[in-house]
Homo-oligomer: A and B are copies of this chain.
Amino acid sequence: MRRSIATVCISGTLEEKLESIARARFDAVEIFENDLIASRLSPREIRQRCADLGLGIDLYQPFRDMDGVDEARFRRNLDRAQRKFDLMVELGAPMLLVCSNVQPDMICDDELLASQLHAMAEKAAERGLRVAYEALAWGHHVNRYLHSWEIVKKADHPHLGLCLDSFHILSRGDDPAGIETIPADKLFFLQLADAPMLAMDVLQWSRHFRCFPGQGTFDLARFVEHVLMAGYPGPLSLEVFNDVFRAAPNRRTTLDAHESLLFLEEQVRQRIAARAVADPAAAQLAERIELFNPPAPPTLKGVSFIEFAVDAASGHVLARALEGLGFDRLGAHRSKDVTLYQQGEVRLILNQEPGSFAADFFQRRGPSICALGLATDDGQRAVNRGVAFQLPRYAGRVGPNETIIPALRAVDDSVIYFVSQALEERGFLESDFVIEAGRQGHSRAGIRQVDHLAHAYPLEQFDTGVLFNRVVLGLAPQPSLELADPHGLVRSCAMVNDDQSLRIALNVSQSRTTATGRTAETLQGGGIHHIALACDDIFACATRVRAGGIALLPVPDNYYDDLAARLDLEPGLVERMRQFGVLYDENADGAFFHFYVRSFVGSFFFEIVQRVGRYAGFGAANAAVRMTAQSAQ
């Protein structure tokens, strides 16, 4: 498929936008009129710039309030259109987007609309241009795609067709299946945007909260399936209005945009392939069309290891904290200043090797988590998938006979290693580390495995993170929650894999004074700041950890009084929780016990959890109490 994007999606001047779009490997652009008007480049120079960058210009947009007007105004509109057609000829843009009229005083007469659009198309045809008519979701008279098709059919001009926009159609709850009833030669253009489900005025929703496919909740794969089945021959083009993207550096946004289109193509390909089994037309389409076909997503099996970037001082403090938490110091790396700690299946690596990737990471962000090892079926395939989506491969220095683990550089600049089952069975860490005798990673505090991780994002990288986790790791986003830090709200979106062995909570805060906001700022691009470890007996674990000299986060008495008022709990259980500062949540699926300890270095901290039954949440009900207690530290 040809891949295109509207210049309005990203920040910067038109010149900067075009450069980023080309760099992200798009084939073409829609030129947004306001970008052109504000540009120092003439239309001819823009055309040349695009040609130099290898970008086609597929559309010039938008042209507003053309149709359903009185004769005098129509003549003025036609004059305005002709001036824009002249410009398009200079620009080399073959098609103009005309939005349905939004003026409340317009004349609501389909015959009139059709005849005016016909006249406009006639003028376009004289210059070899085409007009694509789009029903805005908030159009005064025409606001459904089937209505816009009625008008275009009535107008019946070969240079007039439809522009379909997924936002305008899906935000109204319209069924895109009807698109297949429209002749292919009348489907002139396709604009794609995703969006989160928001109960708000559709115009505000559209202008501020659109996002790229995969970042929201619209079923875009189904939408595009119908458009392609209808025979649409044009590009897949993104048109997204988003306050955050308007403000974020455009290079990352443009890469996300392209990644999102590739991901969408992959999903559409799968849908068409599934449909092809029983539908010959789909089978034909599957033969004919080229849709992106990357290596399959990894099957993840939880966290293999977590690597910290530290220096001598912070490494020492962290090591003492880990020992207090019941971790064994398993051994040191054969060739580097790196140590390995283990408890149950949890392996933590402290990297203070000078000149290494970790040292560089430490320089920029202080003590922090620089790498994550994920257990997977096929590490190489996982990396190949990431590379297919334009993520950079990572290759660190490796000593003789040391293990090479396939890895990607994540969008926050940390490294994600993909540890294959085979590598795990070969004892890949044992080949790199000298394991001290008698050290076995006994679970001294009963900690079994990583339960979940939390990642703090700066506002402008949150959607990037959602996309990365979804596309590259195959994680599914859960509904977003709002948590009340004493210094502002924190939005949290958990992303999990199929068997729940990998759970990552993505946290973001508009406030720079919440712990999340401060962490995202300190870490310059965010990072994992919170590691939750699972045990089977929360009180035994709390007892051992406290005996290990670790202070547990104190929880106010008022919390336990409220717990006793709200829930039907044994008084003895409430008292034990009070004694250790254990927090509690329950729902129809089960129960959740958790307590917190400080790491004493950087901004990350540990949580210890015990899940009972099939409880799948994260104790969000306790977040305000926990964050208040943490802010007091």
Contacts and interface: CB of A to CB of B under 8 A. Distances in A.
A557 B36 CA distance: 10
Interface in A534-566: 554, 556-559, 561-562, 564-566
Contacts of A557: 42
Contacts of A487: 11-12, 246-247
Given A200-B201, A201-B199, A201-B200, A83 B12 contact: no
A454 to B, nearest CB: 19
Contact of A247 (B37, B83, B510, B568): B510
A484 B246 contact: yes
A40 interface: yes
Interface string A104-127: 000000000000000000000000
Nearest to A10: B486
Given A37-B556, A558-B37, A624-B38, A568 B76 contact: yes
Contacts of A631: 13
Interface string A553-586: 0101111011011101000000000000000000
A471 to B, nearest CB: 26
A488 B243 contact: yes
A29 B556 CA distance: 21
Contacts of A512: 247
A627 to B, nearest CB: 8
Interface in A457-501: 484, 486-489
Interface string A134-160: 000000000000000000000000000
Contacts of A246: 484, 487-489, 511
Interface in A187-207: 198-201, 204
Given A200-B200, A243-B511, 14 more contacts: A11-B487, A34-B484, A34-B624, A36-B558, A37-B625, A38-B558, A38-B628, A38-B629, A80-B565, A80-B566, A243-B489, A247-B509, A247-B513, A247-B514
Contact of A204 (B199, B566, B624, B628): B199
A252 interface: no
A87 interface: yes
- Closest 6 A/B residue pairs (Cβ): A247-B488, A247-B511, A199-B201, A200-B200, A38-B628, A83-B565
Contacts of A33: 562
21 contacts: A13-B631, A34-B484, A34-B624, A37-B558, A37-B562, A37-B625, A38-B486, A39-B628, A40-B554, A42-B558, A43-B558, A80-B565, A200-B200, A200-B201, A246-B511, A247-B487, A247-B510, A247-B511, A247-B512, A247-B513, A247-B514
Contact of A556 (B38, B87, B510, B566): B38
A17 to B, nearest CB: 9
A632 interface: yes
B84 A565 contact: yes
Interface in A619-633: 624-625, 628-629, 631-632
A430 B182 CA distance: 79
Nearest to A487: B11
Contacts of A510: 243, 247, 510
A600 B225 CA distance: 55
A13 B565 contact: no
A12 B199 CA distance: 30
Contacts of A632: 13, 40
Task: From A39, A198, A486, A564, name the one whose CB has the most chain B CB atoms within 10 angstroms.
Answer: A486
Nearest to A514: B247
Interface in A405-426: none
